[in-house]
Amino acid sequence: MAIQNIRVLVVDDSAVVREVLSRELGRQSGIEVVGTAPDPYIARDKILQLNPDVMTLDVEMPRMDGITFLRKIMQHHPVRTIMLSSLTPKGGEMAMDALDAGAIDVLCKPGAAYTVGDIIPILAMQIRAAAGANFGKARSLDLPRPAQPVAPAPKALLQTTNRILAIGASTGGTRAIEDVLMAFPANCPPTLITQHMPAGFTQSFALRLDRICRMEVREAVHGDSVIPGVALIAPGNHHMVLRRSGARYLVELHQGERIHFQRPAVDELFGSVAEYAGKNAVGVILTGMGSDGAAGLLKMRQAGAHTIAQDEKTSVVWGMPGEAVKREAATEILPLPSIAARALELCVENVPARMERP
């Protein structure tokens, strides 16, 4: 029996973008572009007519913006959607709104910053991941979200925590990371986060988390100290790694080769945490496409760190955590609502009062 291609609808007001995406995606194995639309009104009719598996949707369009259209379509005829946004501050904010509205992932449109050659392999991966995504978890808001921190007493956390918490995620990860961080107290463990996301979008993501979470959340800057009460997010188009300077932890950013087509890559972060923090770290791999992070999480576990993988039931895409489980990189497999409490418990459990010197 032949495997059916993933049917894709491309929605963009630019005729050039529609033509390029249709042509290049049509060359990707297992993907068939069944139609295009220049605006949401025509897209609505095409969705009903063609019943696509996945839709790529431009954020900024005339007559009706992509966010408004996405909210409407998710109410009446849900479609797995990947949003394409311009690389601007406004585009980054709208990308976050798109994820809130039910988009499975966001990607930067081809242009001056990202060429078609950069975008198409990643977009093809996202389309394949979206087609197999746990769509209910991508769209629903029914997972428990603690109103109060599920943490040990703040005083004890401040006095004893030297462990670093490293988190990696991709597809569906923005919501999963938000759920974890919102359960943390203001004096959370030093936290490093790599989420697959383009440059510009990570800044908007960090600003949004900083507004709604108790701790400080910001996009990392080269040389930032890794300290309690602060969560650092790897900037798009930069790998983030952990380093030590005497008794101080800090982060460094670099633009080395993409890993698993990604920059930032979770493997790069986890590998550095394994090397420089070892048993004084906790690793968490959340929902995401592909296998990025599995090898790094295994290094962390082998270095003595406690490692957690999100379970399949609560993951939008069980690619990254599933691969970590397959490689026996995870000490524990937990549902998303249990991860924050367990990570905090591990970060204050049997931690030496002073950081060991290298």
What are the catalytic residues?
170, 196, 292
HSE-CB of 224 using CA atoms within 13 angstroms: 23
Locus of tokens 């601007």: 88
How far is it, in rounded angstroms, from Cα 11 to Cα 42? Answer: 9
Distance CA 108, CA 83 (A): 8
Q: CA of 100: how far to CAs of 104, 141, 175, 208, 216, in Å? A: 9, 10, 8, 12, 21
Identify the H or E element spanning 272: helix 266-276
DSSP state at residue 297: H
Q: What's the burial of 64, exposed, middle or buried (CB within 10 Å: 0-12/13-18/19+)?
A: middle
CA dist 25 and 23 (Å) reads 6
The contacts of residue 254 (CB under 8 Å, 6+ apart) are 238, 239, 241
**DSSP single-letter state for residue 316:** S
Q: Are 3 and 131 a contacting pair, CB within 8 Å?
A: no
End-to-end CA distance of the chain: 58
Distance from C-alpha of 199 to C-alpha of 264, rounded to nearest angstrom: 9
Query: 128 φ, ψ to 5°?
Result: -65, -40
Do β-strands 31-37 and 105-108 pair in parallel, antiparallel, or remain unpaired?
Answer: unpaired
- Whether the CB-CB separation of 50 and 34 falls below 8 Å is answered with yes
